[in-house]
Amino acid sequence: MDLLQFARGPALTWASAIFVCGMLWRLSGILLLKRKPDYSEARHTGTWLGALKLIVSRSWPRREFIRHTFLGEALGYVFHIGLGIVVFAFAPHILFFKALTGLEWPHLPNGVVYFSGAVTIAALLVVLIRRLTHPVLRLLSNFDDYFSWFVTITPVLTGLLAAAHLGARYETLLAVHILSVALLLVWFPFGKLMHATLIFISRGTTGALFERKGAAT
């Protein structure tokens, strides 16, 4: 079996299985937590609406803090949107999803995807430099912060190298690209990348509690 067959076969299959089991394990561990009964009288009842309101309102910077949070939030939006474009709007990726699920959708021109990939890498590099140079952020950062950054940027980097046929045979570059995706899938449920789902659970829970208490959000 050559490297590409290994990457496309056992590596991606096992990584996907670990990803699915890990996500189910983490999410059920949180969602099945026993809740304490709340005997207080609810001020408002629309808790689902309260949850939704806080998820939306916390996704936008507060005017009072915008001067200090703008750079971090703008970088965050840039690289998350960039990741979304390269993963879901690139024709070869859509073919992969079609083979997996039977679903397909329109793609963006390759040039737009490559540009988004380059912008994503630039934004992630600035994010890392900021983390390394900001005295407080640096003190607060641990292995998870750096490793999650690494497994996020690597598939974008290896994808661009494969598309540019740069540095090795195409089959080798593609194998390395797929292995980097496998690493991302394996790490995803166990580190802070779980924020992709937990952010909705934590903001939603806070929003629902605020609504019940009649607190302004």
CA torsion sign for 91, 97, 101, 106 is negative
Among 15, 174, 186, 194, binds ligand HEM (CB under 6 A): 174
Q: Within 10 A of 108 (CB to CB), how many other CB atoms are there?
A: 16
For the bound state, the minimum distance from the C-beta of residue 193 to ligand HEM, rounded and expressed in Å, comes to 5
By the rule CB under 6 A, 152 interacts with ligand HEM = yes
Q: How far is the CB of 66 from ligand HEM (least distance, A)?
A: 13
Question: Which amino acid appears at position 169 of this protein?
Answer: R
CB of 25 to ligand HEM, least distance (A): 18
Residue 179, token pair as written in the block:
């292995």
Three-state secondary structure call for residue 72: helix
Amino acid (1-letter code) at residue 157 = L
Of the candidate spans 19-27, 35-43, 101-109, 151-159, the one that interacts with ligand HEM by CB under 6 A turns out to be: 151-159
Q: Give Cβ neighbours of residue 47 (< 8 Å, ≥ 6 apart).
A: 208, 211, 212
CA dist list (Å): 102 to 19, 94, 95: 21, 10, 9
In terms of CB distance, is 54 or 113 closer to ligand HEM? 113
Q: Tell me the C-alpha to C-alpha distance, in Å, between residue 157 and each of 7, 65, 138, 169.
A: 17, 33, 24, 16
CB of 79 vs ligand HEM, minimal distance in Å: 7
Q: By CB under 6 A, is residue 80 in contact with ligand HEM?
A: yes
Contacts of 77 (CB under 8 A, 6+ apart): none
Binding region for ligand HEM (CB under 6 A) out of 18-26, 43-51, 87-95, 202-210: 87-95
Residues of the shown chain interacting with ligand HEM in the complex, contacts defined by CB under 6 A: 8, 72-73, 76, 80, 83, 86-87, 90, 92-93, 96, 113-114, 117, 127, 131, 145, 148-149, 152, 155-156, 159-160, 162-163, 174, 177-178, 181, 184, 193, 195-196, 199
